[in-house]
Structure 1
């Protein structure tokens, strides 16, 4: 019998009856780049992430993407929760960005546990509230924060030892703009001495300056 519940952040204190309902569900292993759902599909279940990261994107009619949020252990997918509770189809696309272990709770079991298991219900709605707050912050950044500031924040967030391995298209998706806009803004950051560009990576050369830029109009 799998003991995956003991690894599930937020669910380890579930009562024995609720644990028994979930315990037999299998752990699914996914490779990097696996698509969990696409726009227009119905929600099949609630994903409990045990390890790895999934990213959810909104895709516009022109094909341009914006990163809505990432899902890691202890976090939830707003689109799945809305789909299971309100029978709404997905409007975004979810893709694994690393190897992922997850457990998919089927719709009927999810709804039963929402009604009968306080710990499960608290996990679902607590994670939902946290995710909605982060999406409101994303909306504020896209609506009110300058592109340069959003770009600076994205570079700082992804930098490892002041190096960001990324493309202009990936940065555009993360900050909600076009690739051409990112290219122009990066050129400006280079001229200001804040970063250096090389093929496939960006190096932070003036961290205090980039931090100051990221904080302008930040929510």
Structure 2
């Protein structure tokens, strides 16, 4: 555990903090599609992502869910931290975008380390700041971008996170993340292909222009 933390967070945390995390945390493997946090859960542990990517969804009380942002290596979920501090139920669902590993830290250490370690305070505040920017970007996207622009931004983000120009997602899965219908997504994907921005293959979308 200590070696994994040192390799991935040694540039962020003090050695003493890494030692403490290694003593109390657990390492968890996950695979694509695993639900790591669900709506209504009381969150007992804070995730530090070692590898892979996790998408964070917000429940829409009228219908379905809305993609807020992705968590990548070296990051945590600010909304998870907020639930931990407020001892409230989770208002997000965290689903593994691909396989990876995550370090889970018991929540009772979070406040203690806020007062004890400057690096932990900076990490927490930066996480809040970065997630806020991403959520504002998501709001702007909903308010000001056409669905074809939202779709292209989504595909580019998926490509970056997975490190591949080929995106293995069904039209229905994309529609679910973008809170629209499969018919709309299929039509827009075909339009993007006609514009030369993507190529459609069986169960794969290839980014041509980035």
> What range is the shorter-chain TM-score in?
0.7 to 0.9
Which residue number in structure 2 is paired with residue 126 of structure 1? 126
- Is contact 1:53-1:70 (8 Å) kept? yes
In the alignment, the residues of structure 1 paired with residue 15 and residue 200 of structure 2 have an alpha-carbon distance, to the nearest angstrom, of 53
Which residue number in structure 1 is paired with residue 99 of structure 2? 99
Structure 2: runs of 5 or more not aligned: none
Structure 1: runs of 5 or more not aligned: 212-219
Q: How many residues align?
A: 206
Which residue number in structure 2 is paired with residue 73 of structure 1? 73
Give the CA RMSD over aligned residues. Answer: 2.5
Look at both structures and tell me which one has the larger radius of gyration over its CA atoms: 1
Kindly tell me: are residues 114 and 162 of structure 1, through their superposed partners in 2, closer, same or farther at Cα, counting changes over 3 Å? closer
- Secondary structure at the aligned position of 1:3 is classed as helix
Residue correspondence of structure 1 range 11-160 to structure 2 within 5 A: 12-14=12-14, 16=16, 18-24=17-23, 25-61=25-61, 64-159=64-159
Q: CA deviation at 1:138?
A: 0.9
2:200 paired with 1:200: no
Q: CA deviation at 1:139?
A: 0.8
Kindly tell me: are residues 31 and 151 of structure 1, through their superposed partners in 2, closer, same or farther at Cα, counting changes over 3 Å? closer
- Secondary structure at the aligned position of 1:113 is classed as helix
TM-score using structure 1 length: 0.80
Q: CA deviation at 1:108?
A: 1.1
- Is contact 1:172-1:179 (8 Å) kept? yes
Give the stretch that moved more between structures: 33-42 or 193-202: 193-202
- Secondary structure at the aligned position of 1:8 is classed as helix
